[in-house]
Structures are given as structure tokens and as C-alpha cells.
Amino acid sequence: MLAVRGIESHYGASQALFGVSLSVKSGEVVTLIGRNGMGKTTSINSIMGITKITRGEIFLENQPINDLESFEINRKGIALVPEGRQVFPNLTVRENLVAIAANRNKHANPWNLEKILDLFPLLSARIDNMANLLSGGEQQMLAIGRSLMTNPKILLLDEATEGLAPLVRSEIWRCLNQLKEEGISILVVDKNVNDLARIADMHYIIEKGRIVWEGTSPELLEQKDFLGNKLGV
């Protein structure tokens, strides 16, 4: 599905990524874990074409995408839920969801308004509310729903549950697990290792712009000393 091979990225003269490689197979949930400032968001932005890579390759379904613009990558089937949610504040929940709805990849059972509201029942009661009046958790649900309305092949989530209350985090994880059961490929950045281990197939730990460990959920949970050193958990 998605293959990232040895990418490097820079901010001006400062190098941010050093040969980052990872892959997300069809139907997999994969995580990118690390402390703040280690390159997680830069990796996500590089995949999405927001930050241009200076070396390496990125493939979606065996087709190179690293020379494409962000909107072209989105049309190819990658959707991003960015850090900070970034919903349209002056539009209603309904308007946010339908504003960028598309089924360019001809899904047989595409995401639509009804399916999104089934996935996130809390949004149903807020359907005509302005987005800027929603709680942080509701805005995150809206951001995920809006991305799903483009019917992507793979969903990228940057800091999926950052700053959310425990009950809201649980709801987000429930929804992501449901998306996994429906066969959606997901690459998620988050810090909640135990929650990630419950739903993810593979994990990558990034430190100072380099992948320093990769493995399955059972392998991740066995690395307690390593996790304490690298992630402070």
C-alpha cells in the first residue's frame, strides 16, 4: 500500500529526517512513536507532500508520489488528519463533512454523511452546530470524519488523541479499531503506547529523525526499559 524508503527532509539548512523507512500494508494499522521534536510530524508531512523530501522515495500502490503536490497525493487516496484538528471553524458540522466529500477511487460502499454519523454518534446531535463550538474531542471526530468523506485508501493521523480527555481518547480508539475492521489502512502518530498496542499491527519508533526500532505489538510491550529510555513511558 504505502512504502517510504530512505527519505530525508530539511528545514532550510537543518536536516530533520535521516533515511526514514516504513511501510503500511493494505488493512494495517501502523504507528509512528517518539518524543516531541523527533520527526514524527515531519515524516507525516513528507508523505503528504507538505514538506518536500530531499532524498529517498515514497510509493502508494507501487506508484511514486514524492514529486506530487499535496492535493494530488490526496486525490491518489491519502487523507491527513493534522495535528490540531484544523476543522473549518465557521462551517457547521454538516458543512464540514460535505465540503470535500469525494469518491475518486470508486469505492463500492463509500463513506457518506450517514456512515460518518453512525461512526461518531456524538456528531449527530451537533450536526447543525458551528465547528468552533465543539469540544476538542468532537472536533477530532469531525476531522477524522471529514477525511473519511474523501474515501481514502490510507488515513494519516498526526497526534490522534493529543490533549483529549481519557473518555474521549477511548472513543477515538474505538472508532479507529472499527476502521481497521473495515479494512482501512492507517498510519497514526500518538504517545499512548498501550492504546496503540491494542489496535496496531506494526510500530516504528523515531528518534532525532531516524527510525531506531520497529516491531509488532507484543514485541513493543516487551521493550519496557527501551520504551522508558526512548519515550519516557
Across 92-101, 160-169, 205-214, least confident range: 160-169
For the CA atoms of the chain, what is the radius of gyration?
17
Report the domain count for the chain: 1
Residue 227 within any structural domain of the chain: no
Residue 232 within any structural domain of the chain: no
Bridge partners for 203 per DSSP: 31, 215
Percent of the chain with pLDDT over 90: 69
Residue 231 within any structural domain of the chain: no
Residue 117 within any structural domain of the chain: yes
pLDDT of residue 233: 57
Residue 229 within any structural domain of the chain: no
Mean pLDDT of the 179-185 span: 90
Residue 154 within any structural domain of the chain: yes
Of the pLDDT bands very low, low, confident and very high (cuts 50, 70, 90), residue 165 is: confident
Mean pLDDT of the 94-100 span: 92
pLDDT of residue 156: 96
Q: Residue 184 pLDDT > 60, yes or no? A: yes
pLDDT of residue 230: 62
How far out from the chain centre does Cα 218 lie?
A: 22
Residue 230 within any structural domain of the chain: no
Place of cell 516531541: 36
Q: Residue 183 pLDDT > 80, yes or no? A: yes
Helix (H) or strand (E) holding 187: strand 185-189
Mean pLDDT of the 47-72 span: 95
pLDDT of residue 226: 67
Place of cell 504507528: 31
Residue 54 to residue 15: CA distance in whole angstroms? 10
Percent of the chain with pLDDT over 70: 96
Burial class (CB in 10 A: 0-12, 13-18, 19+), 121: exposed
Please indicate whether residue 223 or residue 59 has the higher confidence score (pLDDT). 59
Residue 80 is which amino acid? L
Instruction: For residue 191, give the CATH number of its domain.
Output: 3.40.50.300
Cβ–Cβ under 8 Å, residues 227 and 233? yes
pLDDT in tens, 102-131: 877 677 788 999 999 999 999 999 999 999
Residue 6 within any structural domain of the chain: yes
pLDDT of residue 232: 61
Q: Which domain holds residue 189?
A: 2-220
Of the pLDDT bands very low, low, confident and very high (cuts 50, 70, 90), residue 164 is: confident
Please indicate whether residue 225 or residue 207 has the higher confidence score (pLDDT). 207
pLDDT in tens, 18-52: 999 999 999 999 999 998 899 999 999 999 999 99
